[in-house]
Chain A
Amino acid sequence: MFHDADALLLARLQFGFTISFHFIFPAFSIGLASYLAVLEALWLRTGRALYLDLYKYWLKIFAVVFAMGVVSGIVMSYQFGTNWAVFSDRAGPVIGPLMAYEVLTAFFLEAGFLGVMLFGMKKVGRRLHFFATLMVAVGTFISAFWILSVNSWMQTPQGYAINTQGQFVPAAGWLPIIFNPSFPYRLVHTVIAAYLTTALVVGAVGAWHLLHQSSKDEAKHEHARTMFSMAMWMAAIVAPVQVLVGDAHGLNTLEHQPAKVMAMEGHFQSHPEGAPLILFGIPDDEAQRMNYVVEIPRLSSLILKHDLDAPLAGLDSVPAWNRPPVEIVFWSFRVMVGLGVLMLALGAWSLIARLAKKLYDWRALLRFAVLMGPSGFIAVLAGWITTEVGRQPFTVYGLMRTAESASPLAAPAVGASLVAFVVVYFTVFGMGTWYLLRLMSRAPQPHEPGPANAPAHAAGITPAPALAAAKEGGHGG
């Protein structure tokens, strides 16, 4: 076996690239599936056509997002073997079954009910259709459960033994493996992030249409108002919760992966009598120091230890070969937290606007909401980078190094595939994003059609698009 440094770097770039792209889609579809379930439930309860219109509007967007999530996800399920063969062989007995459970309990559930959700409204009736929507929503959550359990085990491994072939194997049943120490925190933090991401997108779309419609168009306006109001409630309630959960997650990380927190904080040096909170600075991994620091004395000790004078160790207490790259982690963490603060501000502002009864007319607020539309995605990716790069230089934290995890591949092979992934993903998902923006730029309206060109089957009843098309005088082929 050989380890070519270039091949390793390329393999890491490829994994990072493909998983970052992939992660965007489930981050959206987890929240969107739940939002769709809520909209359909409201429609069934109140009978108001408005909710059905919104449901169909977001369903079309969901279909595109979900398709991109599926195809980029299949790539992930094979890439462990193609590029991380040694890791797969050694960690497979522990993480493999969890991933198999993800397929059995989540992927099939989502895929099995998606067809009915997208195309089956008129075929199965309202209640069964709502059940299908619920199953898809539940499926996205179960999927998050298993994959985050796998990820968390790699961060905070426990409940394993190592057999004669060097493989990690379960030592004392599966509960300690599934519910490893960082899992509950990561699960809650990530799922809330997905909800928040969706709320910000929905809010931005609502705000955009409120800004661009004349208020004379009362019916259309009501759709945009409902979306915006629902999204702002979500942001106002969930953003503060996320701050608390994030704090708890950080304390958990401090306990189990102190070096990651040192990198997030930019603490190269130990602080025996109270560590400062570094707001900004330029980390220099080479020299292992922070330059141009703006800091608040002792605040880091207060946040992390709830004591102004508590000593905090720095990366100088960690052997050089076990240190994560501070230059990336320090910044990605700040991007995430900074956006979190802005989300908090948006939520608070919306509450004030609501009290002042000008939620739909305060143009500055609406513009801010539009700007914040993509912020969830950026925050999710930044958080993901923080936790994954912060795990380096290990794949299984403290136990298996990234450098000894890769497949024995030649650098040209990995280089060629990386280029192919970059070209294909930017082309395909770039166009996909363009289609999403185009769908969103059209305002939801009364009698919103469902996913266009839904299959019409002789055994069924007229699907919605055929009706809509018939009204327009065209035909629905």
Chain B
Amino acid sequence: MADDTVLTHIWGGILAFAVFMYVVMDGFDLGIGVLFRVFAVGKERDTAMNSIAPVWDGNETWLVLGGGGLLAAFPLAYAVIMSALYAPLIAMLLALVFRGVAFEFRWRDPAHRGFWDLAFTGGSLVAALMQGIMLGALLQGIHVEGRAYGGGWWDWLTPFSVLTGVSVVCGYSLLGACWLNWKTEGETQAHARRLMRLLAPLTLAAIVAVSSATPFLGNEYFERWFSMPRVLFTAQVPLVIAILTWRFVRSLRRDYELAPFVLTLAVFALCYVGLGISMFPYLVPNAITLQAAAAPASSQAFMLVGAVLLVPVILGYTAWSYWVFRGKVAHEGYH
């Protein structure tokens, strides 16, 4: 039994890693999509899109691993969460359809480039918004009856979930602007910097708002954050975020190129740790624990072999692919 518990926690960790990888990798390219219409038609937009064209597909694969991994390791949670989040999930999937094909279609059909640019922005915006809304809907709790979702099909929509939705849009946009600041030069880079100055305070405000609202959702979140001696540990999270924010402001002033992107990712990582503190040991707050949702040890062990062997290899060739396309993206053909 003890082994099963360890295995289940390992899988909880692997899935948390997969979802975080998704946020790290698709966050900036969704963010670039959200900001896309702000950029001038022509070289600004082309550069922005070219900076992510070779990697977006790999980035989105982490989303598939998140879904597939949840089905495999915690089938009950997969079943309950996916039916509870039906509407936002379908909206996200359809948004990703528009956004994904726009990468190819906008070049194939110059006459309708405007339409596909709009599809790219709209798709990215809706996908990011829905991801944030789903996060909020999960945090605020899901009504479970027996082994199934027991709520209605609009339960996910609350002021809190809208707040988390808007927050994720802000955060992804900031990541996108930081990525462009790193990968581009000249006018596009200058434009990205202006956007960073606008988006950074918005994102910080969003983090503060969500963090302040979460402990009051009930669901024992208050307890998990503020009871002694936990608070000695949990208090470090906002503290480190404050330090990172200060470093971020400094890196902006000094026109650093890579640092703002890395620092923003670090802030995301801390928010993610905060999320873990709120949720653990539940997968569906106050309803389904990791343990209760777990697939049998034989299923989890079989997949663990694959994950341990393959995830490092995947990270290896993903890194190689990023390395191949390293450096600044030129505006036009590089002559």
Contact = CB atoms under 8 A, between A and B. Distances in A.
Main secondary structure of the interface of A (DSSP, over half): helix
Given A101-B303, A428-B101, A458 B82 contact: no
A123 B296 CA distance: 46
A425 B75 CA distance: 28
B60 A74 contact: yes
A273 B100 CA distance: 57
B256 interface: no
Interface in B254-275: none
Interface stretch (A235-243, A291-299, A404-412): A404-412
A23 to B, nearest CB: 16
Interface stretch (B49-57, B221-229, B278-286): B49-57
A112 interface: yes
A205 B70 CA distance: 43
A118 B54 contact: yes
Contacts of A439: 108
B298 to A, nearest CB: 5
Given A81-B78, A108-B61, A174-B302, A99 B50 contact: no
Contact of B314 (A108, A118, A425): A108
B43 A86 contact: no
Nearest to B153: A413
Nearest to B87: A413
Contacts of B321: 112-113, 115-116
Interface stretch (B89-97, B157-165, B233-241, B245-253): B89-97
B34 interface: no
Nearest to A99: B68
A50 to B, nearest CB: 24
A85 B69 contact: no
B218 interface: no
Contacts of A103: 61, 64-65, 68-69
Contact of A100 (B43, B72, B147, B298): B72
A456 B335 CA distance: 10
A460 B327 contact: yes
A453 interface: yes
A70 B79 contact: no
B298 A170 contact: yes
Contact of A92 (B81, B108, B148, B295): B295
Contact of A457 (B100, B104, B108, B326): B326
A316 B156 CA distance: 48
A203 interface: no
Interface string B81-122: 111011101100110111011011101110010000000000
A85 B89 contact: no
Nearest to B57: A111
Given A93-B75, A465-B333, A81 B96 contact: no
Contacts of A311: none
A90 B284 CA distance: 18
A71 to B, nearest CB: 4
B325 interface: yes
A318 interface: no
A88 B318 contact: no
A1 B330 CA distance: 57
A470 B333 contact: yes
Interface in B40-54: 42-43, 46, 50-51, 53-54
B276 interface: no
A420 B326 CA distance: 39
Interface in A427-477: 428, 431-432, 435, 438-439, 451-463, 465-467, 469-470, 475-477
Given A81-B82, A88-B75, A115-B324, A74 B63 contact: yes
Nearest to B106: A453
Interface in A60-98: 63-64, 66-68, 70-75, 77-78, 80-83, 85-86, 88-97
Given A82-B89, A88-B75, A116 B329 contact: no
Main secondary structure of the interface of B (DSSP, over half): helix
Nearest to A91: B75
Contact of A97 (B303, B333, B335): B303
A462 B86 contact: no
A169 B298 contact: yes
Interface residues of B, number: 84
B64 A77 contact: yes
A428 B295 CA distance: 37
Interface residues of A, number: 96
A102 interface: yes
B162 to A, nearest CB: 20
Contacts of B307: 100, 104
Nearest to A66: B57
Given A99-B68, A99-B71, A455-B54, A108 B318 contact: yes
Contact of B332 (A73, A174, A476): A476
A100 B310 CA distance: 11
Interface string B11-53: 0000000000000000000000000000000110010001101
Nearest to A123: B324
B101 A71 contact: yes
A70 B318 contact: no
Nearest to A169: B296
B61 A107 contact: yes
Contact of B96 (A74, A113, A165, A476): A74
Given A75-B97, A85-B80, A477-B333, A170 B302 contact: yes
A455 B53 CA distance: 7
B94 to A, nearest CB: 5
A163 interface: yes
A229 interface: no
Contact of A96 (B71, B93, B112): B71
The 3 closest A-B pairs by CB, nearest first: A466-B333, A92-B75, A81-B82
23 contacts: A66-B57, A77-B68, A81-B79, A82-B83, A82-B86, A85-B80, A88-B71, A88-B75, A88-B82, A89-B76, A92-B75, A93-B295, A96-B71, A100-B307, A103-B64, A110-B57, A112-B317, A163-B296, A417-B86, A428-B97, A435-B108, A457-B325, A466-B334
Interface of B: 42-43, 46, 50-51, 53-55, 57-58, 60-61, 63-65, 67-73, 75-76, 78-83, 85-87, 89-90, 93-94, 96-98, 100-101, 103-105, 107-109, 112, 145-150, 152-153, 295-296, 298-299, 302-303, 306-307, 310-311, 314, 317-318, 320-321, 324-335
